[in-house]
Amino acid sequence: MKYLVDMFGIGRIKKGAGTLASLLSAVVLFYLKSMLGWYLYTLAFMLFLPFAIKLCGEEFKVSGDAQSMVLDEFVGMASVLIFSGKVTIVKVAIGFVIFRILDILKPWPVSYWDQDKTEVSVVADDLLAGVISGVIISFI
C-alpha cells in the first residue's frame, strides 16, 4: 500500500514531489472526468475518499505527515474537478495552480485542518484546498 500512498514512487522525489503528484493527478483526472461525466466521477471519488483517508492515516501512524505521502495531493486535485463545472484544459490548469498555492501557503481555513496533524487532517487540508479551488474556477 506504500506504493499507493507515495503514488508509485513520486513521493520519494526529493524536491517538488507534491507539485509533480498534483500535476500528474490533474492530467489523469481530466481524462477520467471527461470519460465518466460528473455523476460517475463524483461517485468514484466518494467511494475512493475513505480508502485514501485510511491509507494516508495508516502511513501517518508510521511516519507522520511525511513528504513522501502524496496520495492526499491526488485527493485534492480530484476535488478540484468535482466543483469545477465543465472540465476544460484551461480550468484544470488554473485549478492546479490555485490548488498548489492554497496547499503550499495554507491560508485559513486550510491551515485550520493542517494544524491538528491527525490521520484525517493529512487528507482534509488538501481536500479543502481542492474544494476551494474548484469553487473558484467554477466561475470561469
Residues 98-110: tens digit of each pLDDT: 999 999 999 999 9
Q: What is the mean pLDDT of the chain?
A: 93
Peptide bond before 107: cis, by omega within 30 degrees of 0? no
Is residue 119 within 8 A of residue 57, CB to CB? The reply is yes
The pTM of the full predicted model, rounded to 2 decimals, is: 0.94
Give φ, ψ of 116 to 5 degrees.
-70, -35
Q: Please state, in angstroms and rounded to a whole number, the distance separating the CA atoms of residues 93 and 108.
A: 23
- Look at residue 15 in the predicted model and tell me its pLDDT: 92
Cell representation of residue 31: 481524462
Q: Cβ(28)–Cβ(44) under 8 Å?
A: no
Contact 129, 76 (CB under 8 A): yes
Q: Scanning the structure block, which residue is given the C-alpha cell 492515516?
A: 57
Domain parsing of the chain, residue ranges: 16-138
